[in-house]
Amino acid sequence: MTGRLQDKQLILGVCGGIAAYKSVQLLRLMTQQGARVRVVMTRHAGEFVAPLTFEALSGEPVCIDLFDRTDRDASIRHIDWAQEADAAVIAPATANLVAKLANGTADDALSTFLLAMICPVLVCPSMNTHMYQHPSVQRNLDRLKSDGHMVLEPGAGQLACGTVGPGRLPEPEQILDRLISRLTPKDLAGKRVLVTAGPTREFIDPVRFISNPSSGKMGFAVAAAAEHRGAEVTLVTGPTRLSDPAGIQTIRVVSAREMAGAVFDHFEAADIIIKTAAVSDYSPRETADHKIKKGAEEMSLALQKNIDILRTLGGRKRPNQFLAGFAAETRDLRENACKKLVEKNLDMIVGNLVGNPDSGFSADTNRVTLFFPNREKEPLEIMDKASVAHRILDRIMERLS
Ligand SMILES: Cc1cc2nc3c(=O)[nH]c(=O)nc-3n(C[C@H](O)[C@H](O)[C@H](O)COP(=O)(O)O)c2cc1C
């Protein structure tokens, strides 16, 4: 399984902020994606996390002091490492580091490295809310943006120092996502992609519903992959535990009827439509206003067929639109998937057999087969859902060109 940062050389800059502990997890995520990561820390960062932690996890020496006489390579590292790097991430970036970078100050290893760098730099400021909102910090952040650096907005909430407001370092997964996005070639630039994800819920009464175990992970992975590749993405999702992905217009719906409405609203404008959502085929004919009380030994529920969103889109599709569906099956994958492909006028169907712990609903990995109208099929090996998403987009782009 190749990571999304395979063969990348990255610099992780760590400053003396309370969120320095999160950079340990960020380092792990970066290396798990295949990157070679070199850590450059400020002296004050060492008050929060020991350099040995970063050294052990990166497998590389950590640079803190350019003039460390016990480390004979240190004095030239700021040139070598800076020139070899594909990107740098500063997380957390203190108010102090932001000020230094905005003003071209180079008075320690990290600030010196940053001036020697010609690669993209992702700055992740994190500090007390009053510090963050201080006009001089805001002025410095504006300067960084106008200098071409990417600045990741901090999250808001209750901070470690007790203040409430912006200043929290985004989660390592979010920082990694922005980094991957920055480093991914933009072959989908100019394309509008509509993705659906998750299950739907068809309420029986205010406290009970018909649904399925779809986690939304596959659809979110497709949406993120398309965004990373430069597309303008709209994601229509049923209820999931996943938070809104960065850079994507996310529309949250509950029922199949709501999903249909949102999809039809955005279908016309889309070049590529990828429907991963597990939409309920049926919903209760009536939804009770109040909780249904326990009574008779048996109870029947009258169900009515929901609108078939994919079939409707297949009927409305323009020749220059690409429509892909998913088929989660428990048996006869080829037969069922190909039937759906033809009947619903799709350009591709992604079939998977659900029921295995490493494939389908809720899993982080998936084993799928791609089917096409010319009877071609491509079985993919088991891989993480982000890799499946990229493979699907690769095949769509090949066919569109
Ligand atoms: C417990 C503690 C937590 C701190 N947290 C932050 C922080 O989150 N963000 C920040 O900008 N400064 C923070 N500071 C202040 C910085 O450590 C201080 O400005 C320092 O000079 C930064 O040095 P550096 O940028 O070289 O790492 C904190 C200080 C202490 C003592």
Q: What is the pLDDT along the chain (401 residues), one digit of tens a residue?
A: 578 999 999 999 999 999 999 999 999 999 999 999 999 999 999 999 999 999 999 999 999 998 876 766 665 666 888 889 999 999 999 999 999 999 999 999 999 999 999 999 999 999 999 999 999 999 999 999 999 999 999 999 888 878 889 999 999 999 999 999 999 999 999 999 999 999 999 999 999 999 999 999 999 999 999 999 999 999 999 999 999 999 999 999 999 999 999 999 999 999 999 999 999 999 999 999 999 999 999 999 999 999 999 999 999 999 999 999 999 888 898 999 999 999 999 999 999 888 777 666 667 888 899 999 999 999 999 999 999 999 999 999 999 98
Q: Is the CB of 95 under 6 A from ligand 1?
A: yes
Distance 23 CA to ligand 1 centre (A): 15
d(C-alpha 293, C-alpha 316), whole Å: 43
Is residue 238 lining ligand 1, measured as CB closer than 6 Å?
A: no
How many whole angstroms separate alpha carbon 347 and alpha carbon 400?
A: 10
CA distances (Å), origin 224, targets 127, 217, 247: 28, 10, 9
- Sheet bearing 121-125, strands edge to edge: 36-41, 9-14, 87-93, 121-125, 150-151
Strands 208-210 and 202-205 turn out to be antiparallel
Which token pair is 123? 């700055």
Q: How far is the CA of 89 from the centre of ligand 1 (A)?
A: 17
What was the pLDDT predicted at 241?
95
| For ligand 1, atom 4: residue with the closest CA | 17
Rg over CA atoms, the chain: 25
Position in ligand 1 atom list of the atom nearest CA 110: 26
Give the Å distance between the CA of 91 and the centre of ligand 1.
12
Query: Is 18 near ligand 1, meaning CB less than 6 Å away?
Result: yes
pLDDT value for 73: 63
Of all protein residues, the one whose alpha carbon is nearest to atom 2 of ligand 1 is: 18
Whether 17 is in the pocket of ligand 1, judged by its Cβ within 6 Å, is yes
Which residues are designated catalytic? 161
Judge whether 145 and 121 are in contact, CB under 8 Å.
Answer: no
Segment 130-139, tens digit of pLDDT:
999 999 999 9
Residue carrying the six token digits 């992905």 = 245
Measured from the CA of 97, which atom of ligand 1 is nearest?
25
Residues 6+ apart with CB under 8 A from 350: 276, 324, 325, 326, 327, 368, 369, 370, 371, 388, 392
50 C-alpha vs ligand 1 centroid, how far in Å? 15
C-alpha span between 53 and 41 (Å, rounded): 12
- Indicate if ligand 1 lies below 6 Å from the C-beta of 97: yes
The full set of domains in the chain, from first to last, is 9-183 (3.40.50.1950), 192-400 (3.40.50.10300)
Do 68 and 99 meet the contact criterion of CB atoms below 8 Å apart?
A: no
- The whole-angstrom separation of Cα 380 and Cα 348 is 14
Q: Which of 20, 40, 62, 23 is nearest to 179 (CA)?
A: 23
| Span 66-83, pLDDT tens digits | 887 676 666 566 688 888
The rounded Å distance from CA 47 to ligand 1 centre is 10
Residue 401 CB burial class (10 angstroms; 0-12, 13-18, ≥19): exposed
- Residues 54 and 27 sit within 8 Å (Cβ to Cβ): yes
Token code pair at residue 199 = 């299950």
Q: Is 231 in the pocket of ligand 1 (CB under 6 A)?
A: no
Q: What is the C-alpha separation between 119 and 141, in angstroms, rounded?
A: 18
Query: Distance (Å, rounded) from C-alpha 210 to C-alpha 67?
Result: 65
pLDDT at 365: 85
Would you say the CB of residue 94 lies under 6 angstroms from ligand 1? yes
